Amino acid sequence: MSTHQRAVEQIRQSYAEIPGDAAPRLAKATSNLFRFRDAGKTARLSARDLAEVISVDPVSMTAEVQGMTTYEHLVDATLPYGLMPYVVPQLKTITLGGAVTGLGIESTSFRDGLPHESVEELEILTGDGRIIVARDDNEHRDLFRSFPNSYGTLGYALRIKIKLRKVQPYVHLTHVKFTDADKCMLAMQEICDSMEHDGQPVDFVDGVYFTPGEMYVTLGRFSDRAPYVSDYTGMRIYYQSIRKRKRDWLTVRDYLWRWDTDWFWCSRAFGVQQPVVRSLMPRRYMRSDVYRRLVALDRKYGVTARVDRWAGRPVSEAVIQDVEAPIERGAEFLEFFHDKVGMTPVWMCPLKANSRWPLYPLEPGKLYVNFGFWGMVSLPRGQFDGYYNRLIENAVHDLDGHKSLYSTSFYAREQFWQLYNGDAYWPVKREYDPNGRLLDLYDKCVRGR
Ligand SMILES: Cc1cc2nc3c(=O)[nH]c(=O)nc-3n(C[C@H](O)[C@H](O)[C@H](O)COP(=O)(O)OP(=O)(O)OC[C@H]3O[C@@H](n4cnc5c(N)ncnc54)[C@H](O)[C@@H]3O)c2cc1C
């Protein structure tokens, strides 16, 4: 029996031993979910020994990877072959299974879509305890197509075969400034459609909105040589560099993790961007998973909430979301967000689904922009938790957009199933989890059980 087969047998047994009245909860070392609600009656599903890269094949340009493998680990295994996954989400501890069943968007998404679009095969522990290999061309096609955006409610991915792309050692960055959101969206659309800028090919596109009059689109191009390389894993801070310089060079590895060191800009909340604190902070702690753990502890013990109460500060709401709007309506979303929420910066990343995925309601071939915003916003007097998040949900759907489910959601049940394609979900759920051992998508992602 191979190491992988032993790990599969181990998780299958662990699953079988879970009492019928407890919802299984994947026991893994890290998470990037932002739903911290009471877990109710749950039982840990041991996912030991499922976090390795099984093989990288430089000839077929594919990799076989266990479901709980982090992208950091995966990229470390592929880069020596001059290869990378088609889409590498920015946070080092996002796992391949988490990105394929949940959210994964990055600066190659304008061309390569979402991480599930470069998956060739999924080995899944289904809700009814079977181990199934699902592909786009076999009898489990319905499971393969419905897995993206199912958030572990149909089964758990144990092994994933993915396609890889060639890389070059360096990435040349150009930060293009805009003072108007309409022009910014138009330019982004033109660049994504032509995959060029100033006559040069473009391999990566994302951007940052700082104020209504200051936003940047960052274009990345592979290169075999670099005149110098910048380092944003120490005293310098990547997101601040975007405002200061027009051009930059990074190694491909540093490019892929450019957002992780400061968790985009969210490390600000821990004082890590102040020069003195930063100079004292060991580099190994400047990582998104370290900050995420601090936030989880804070939520558990309510420290910030208590300090705010003592200091007489207004109550705040966590507004931590990634939403997608069609690019032609992107400027409208930014205007709404600035007027009604007012949090900055906002990450902008164009993406295009290359085919139809039943639970991921994006129109194939159509360009969207993902807007990512993560922080606390003071509530107006008389308003309660959920106020801003509900405004955002309504705005996104008025703009024919889509909201990711890794954080809080407030939809009513009926509305949710309309938006997230209950008609497609339920037949697959009944086929692979007939006794409802796993929570359904609404209970898991909205009710947070
Ligand atoms: C501040 C912040 C910024 C973010 N920015 C981005 C971004 O820019 N781009 C992006 O792509 N994502 C982003 N994310 C979201 C993140 O990618 C998603 O939350 C992702 O689903 C987390 O994956 P994970 O591997 O950490 O899984 P977890 O957090 O452990 O789990 C996520 C969900 O997937 C399920 N799951 C996990 N592994 C498996 C598996 N093997 N099989 C089946 N189900 C599984 C879990 O049950 C759970 O429901 C951001 C999140 C935060 C908090």
137, two tokens? 């061309």
Ligand 1 atom nearest the C-alpha of 115 is 11
How far does residue 407's CA lie from ligand 1's centre (Å)?
9
State whether the beta carbon of 156 lies less than 6 angstroms from ligand 1.
yes
State whether the beta carbon of 375 lies less than 6 angstroms from ligand 1.
no
Using CA atoms, how far residue 125 sits from 130, 132, 137, 157, 438, in Å, is 6, 7, 19, 7, 11
What residues does CATH 3.30.70.2520 cover in the chain?
Answer: 302-410
What residues does CATH 3.30.465.10 cover in the chain?
Answer: 3-167
So what CATH class is 3-167? alpha beta
State which of 87, 91, 369 you would mutate to test the pocket of ligand 1, scoring each by most atoms of that ligand within 8 A of its C-beta. Answer: 91
d(CA 215, CA 180): 8
Beta carbons within 8 Å of 30's beta carbon, 6+ residues apart: 70, 93, 95, 289, 292
Task: Give the DSSP H or E segment for 261.
Answer: none
State whether the beta carbon of 371 lies less than 6 angstroms from ligand 1.
no
State whether the beta carbon of 127 lies less than 6 angstroms from ligand 1.
no
State whether the beta carbon of 85 lies less than 6 angstroms from ligand 1.
no
How far does residue 137's CA lie from ligand 1's centre (Å)?
27
Beta carbons within 8 Å of 65's beta carbon, 6+ residues apart: 52, 53, 54, 74, 96, 159, 160, 161, 162
Nearest residue (CA) to ligand 1, atom 44: 152
Task: Give the DSSP H or E segment for 275.
Answer: helix 275-280
Q: Which CATH architecture has domain 302-410?
A: 2-Layer Sandwich (3.30)
State whether the beta carbon of 23 lies less than 6 angstroms from ligand 1.
no
State whether the beta carbon of 42 lies less than 6 angstroms from ligand 1.
no
Quote the pLDDT of residue 39. 54
Per-residue pLDDT of the chain (449 residues; tens, 9 = 90+): 699 999 999 999 999 999 888 888 888 777 777 766 555 667 788 887 899 999 999 999 999 999 999 999 999 999 999 999 999 999 999 999 999 999 899 999 999 999 999 999 999 999 999 999 999 999 999 999 999 999 999 999 999 999 999 999 999 999 999 999 999 999 999 999 999 999 999 999 999 999 999 999 999 999 999 999 999 999 999 999 999 999 999 999 999 999 999 999 999 888 899 999 999 999 999 999 998 888 888 777 777 777 777 777 778 899 999 999 999 999 999 999 999 999 999 999 999 999 999 998 899 999 999 999 999 999 998 899 999 999 999 999 999 999 999 999 999 999 999 999 999 999 999 999 999 999 999 999 998 86
d(CA 190, CA 328): 11
169, two tokens? 């050692």
State whether the beta carbon of 27 lies less than 6 angstroms from ligand 1.
no
